[in-house]
Structure 1
Amino acid sequence: MTARSHANTVPRGALLLAGGLVGFTLLATIGFRAAGLDPAASPVAERVANRAQPLAQRTLVFADLPDGGVRIADADGAVTILPAGGQSGFIRGVMRGLARDRRMRGLGADAPFALTAWDDGSLSLADSATGRIVELNGFGPDNRAAFAALLEMPR
């Protein structure tokens, strides 16, 4: 049998640096909180501060179809069917997340969503049932375009 060594294999200097980084992070966090600084910018607060105005808005109700597509109806009764695959996959993913949030709160699926294009170039989807707002610009240009196309769907 061979003897096993249980010597510390991490250099002491690396451990001290890691501990210093953790300590600095904690002190910086405490300092920012004590100063009353916001931890991150909020797109909604930015729009309010900049007095952004909606360029286009549409009230939509989404429903999954058995074949994997998405049925989208607007307040005027116009209906669009997005077939399974393609950009409907991203739309389904976002809508499933919002539907899960509603189910966790015990809310139904009938309340509409407000899709809004703002004059500052942003695009948002607001859930009228929960008050949750999804900023769609953060998902990349192709995924943003999938929702932007819904503003132009036939009425």
Structure 2
Amino acid sequence: MARNNRHTGPYNHGEKIPPILIKGMFGVALFALILVTYARLTDRPLDALPDAGAPVAVERQIVIDAKIDGSAKIYDTEGNQVFEFAPNEGGFVAGVWRALELKRKQAGVALDAPVRLVRFKDGRISLYDDQTGWRAELVGFGADNTAAFARLLD
């Protein structure tokens, strides 16, 4: 019995991807390119970042001294130790410090300069480095990691 190889679908069996999908993918890519080009040419603000000018509930300047083992010591601007994280509890703080340390080395800024830890009235906690313009929105790293920095404000 002979097989009937007649095709009844909208595209040829020799093609792996239907042409309409390929055209659609190029259309989406072109739309994204146009959107990004428009945003850059019109200097649209970075809307994904929370408002840094929101009302502040608590702000504190701290100096972080962290080690690769996850331990970290937090000092106030006078050099008094205000908190110490053991290696098993300071991993996130030490990780944030390593990111900040890299940014400061790239900018040629002193590593022991203070950073601003800010809790906004909406509950969001952020870390700002006024020396380099770097900032970290800590709420995006989970409740436990945010709580590590929240302890420093309480």
Q: Which TM-score band (shorter chain)?
A: 0.7 to 0.9
Q: How does 1:34-45 map to 2 (within 5 A)?
A: 34=38, 36=42, 40-44=47-51
Q: Structure 1 CA distance, aligned partners of 2:34 and 2:105?
A: 36
Q: Which 5+ residue runs of structure 1 have no aligned equivalent? A: 1-7
Q: Tell me which amino acid in the other structure corresponds to 1:75.
A: T
2:27 to 23, 27, 49: 23
* Correspondence for 2:108: 106
- State the superposition RMSD in angstroms: 2.6
Q: How does 1:46-85 map to 2 (within 5 A)?
A: 47-48=52-53, 52-65=54-67, 68-79=70-81, 80-85=83-88
1:118 to 111, 117, 120: 120
Q: Tell me which amino acid in the other structure corresponds to 1:133.
A: R
Length-normalised TM-score, structure 2: 0.75
Q: Structure 2 CA distance, aligned partners of 1:128 and 1:89?
A: 23
Shift of 1:136: 0.5
Across the two proteins, how many residue pairs are aligned to each other? 138
- Cα deviations across residues 55-113 of structure 1 (Å, max 9, x unaligned)? 11110001125864211101244312211112x00010011001001111222212110
> What SS does the corresponding residue of 2:108 show, helix, strand or coil?
coil
Length-normalised TM-score, structure 1: 0.75
Structure label with greater radius of gyration: 2
* Percent of matched pairs sharing the same residue: 36
Q: Which structure's residues are more often helix, by fraction?
A: 1
Shift of 1:134: 0.6
> What SS does the corresponding residue of 1:43 show, helix, strand or coil?
coil
Instruction: Pick closer, same or farther for the CA change 1:130–1:10 going to 2, 3 Å.
Output: farther
Shift of 1:26: 2.2
Q: Structure 2 CA distance, aligned partners of 1:40 and 1:10?
A: 42
